[in-house]
């Protein structure tokens, strides 16, 4: 792959801008400055890294990320009342070219602006579909702080299924347990609008705060602070989609 095509594919601007950065000596590959935009680069080489204006960057054919979503952000490119979670990412991730109309990484599903926790993002359409499709039944674990004390009757109803006002079919938790008198762990395999909040309301309680702790086999790392993101490694992708891989 030409160096300017590589830089373009990683979200550093249109090809003309990428060529200009290279010609100006602002791009290095594996620590060596390159000034010819047509320099061939072996993108299959393991651990390929480059830097733009001194900032190191790993070459990633597809972007797979996790983000610890803080409260006060919307999972949308066009937020209405709150800033977008995408504003927490560096510009190259927001500008990665894709085959569709919208460039950059996209959230897998949505979390409400006041919900915190594990959020996946990618520019791989197949991965986005696989992880968000209701047919896949990917388990997601939420931790909810409730206004009123929890009791076994409420937990039993959540396991057995409750009817929400927009669907006559009961929705149930795949697993449900009280963590303490006012804290609940709830596992869901489908994603309806405000589902956790509405399910808890249906059994006579109210969600005060909501946090997503796990998706599939991937647990939000304890050392990933709110607002921080990181690349997903091969083992983490396996925990999400299995040994068959992605893409």
Q: Which domains does the chain have, with CATH numbers?
A: 3-58 (3.10.290.10), 64-135+218-241 (3.30.70.580), 139-215 (3.30.70.1560)
Q: Which residue has the higher pLDDT, 223 or 166?
A: 223
Q: What percent of the chain has pLDDT over 90?
A: 81
Is the pLDDT assigned to residue 212 strictly greater than 60?
A: yes
154: helix, strand or coil: helix
* pLDDT at 99 (0 to 100): 65
Q: Report the half-sphere exposure of 28 (CA within 13 A, side-chain side).
A: 9
Predicted TM-score (pTM) above 0.85:
yes
Work out the mean pLDDT of the chain and round it to a whole number: 92
Is the pLDDT assigned to residue 197 strictly greater than 70?
A: yes
Count of C-beta atoms within a 10 Å radius of residue 138: 21
Tokens of 170: 């009961």
Say if CB 162 and CB 172 are below 8 A apart.
yes
Is the pLDDT assigned to residue 247 strictly greater than 50?
A: no
Burial state string for 39-58 with b = 16 or more CB within 10 A and e = fewer than 16: eebeeeeeeeebebeeeebe
Lowest mean pLDDT among 7-21, 40-54, 168-182, 231-245: 231-245
* CA 93 remoteness from chain centre: 12
CA distance 54 to 127: 31
CA dist 43 → 5, 7, 25, 48, 73 (Å): 11, 11, 20, 7, 35
CA distance 88 to 65: 12
Phi, psi torsion values for 112, nearest 5 degrees? -60, 160
Q: pLDDT by residue (tens digit) across 146-165? A: 999 999 999 999 999 999 88
**Active-site residue 112, yes or no?**
yes
Set 112, 114, 223, 243: catalytic member: 112
* pLDDT at 172 (0 to 100): 93
CA distance 64 to 62: 7
Q: pLDDT by residue (tens digit) across 81-118? A: 999 999 999 999 999 997 655 579 999 988 999 999 99
Q: Which helix (H) or strand (E) covers residue 180, if one does?
A: strand 175-180
Say if CB 122 and CB 86 are below 8 A apart.
no
Closest CA relative to residue 24, chosen from 57, 48, 43, 52: 52
Structure-token match 């896949």, residue found: 136
């Amino acid at each position: 792959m030409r160096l300017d095509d590589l830089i373009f594919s990683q979200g550093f601007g249109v090809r003309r801008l990428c060529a200009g950065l290279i010609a100006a000596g602002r791009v290095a590959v594996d620590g060596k400055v390159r000034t010819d935009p047509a320099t061939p680069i072996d993108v299959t080489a393991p651990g390929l890294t480059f830097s733009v204006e001194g900032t190191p960057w790993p070459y990633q054919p597809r972007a797979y990320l996790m983000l610890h979503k803080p409260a006060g952000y919307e999972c949308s490119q066009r937020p209405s009342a709150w800033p977008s979670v995408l504003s927490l990412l560096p510009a190259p991730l927001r500008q990665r070219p894709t085959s569709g109309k919208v460039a950059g990484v996209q959230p897998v599903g949505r979390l409400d602006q006041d919900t915190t926790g594990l959020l996946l993002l990618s520019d791989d359409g197949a991965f986005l579909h696989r992880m968000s499709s209701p047919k896949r039944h990917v388990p997601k674990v939420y931790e909810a702080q409730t206004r009123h004390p929890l009791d076994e009757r409420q937990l039993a109803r959540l396991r057995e299924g409750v009817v929400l006002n927009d669907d006559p079919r009961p929705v149930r938790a795949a697993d449900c347990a009280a963590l303490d008198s006012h804290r609940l762990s709830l596992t869901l395999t489908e994603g309806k609008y405000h589902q956790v909040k509405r399910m808890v309301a249906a059994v006579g309680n109210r969600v005060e705060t909501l946090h997503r702790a796990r998706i599939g086999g991937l647990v939000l790392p304890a050392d990933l602070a709110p607002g921080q993101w990181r690349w997903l490694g091969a083992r983490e992708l396996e925990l999400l989609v299995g040994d068959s891989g992605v893409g």
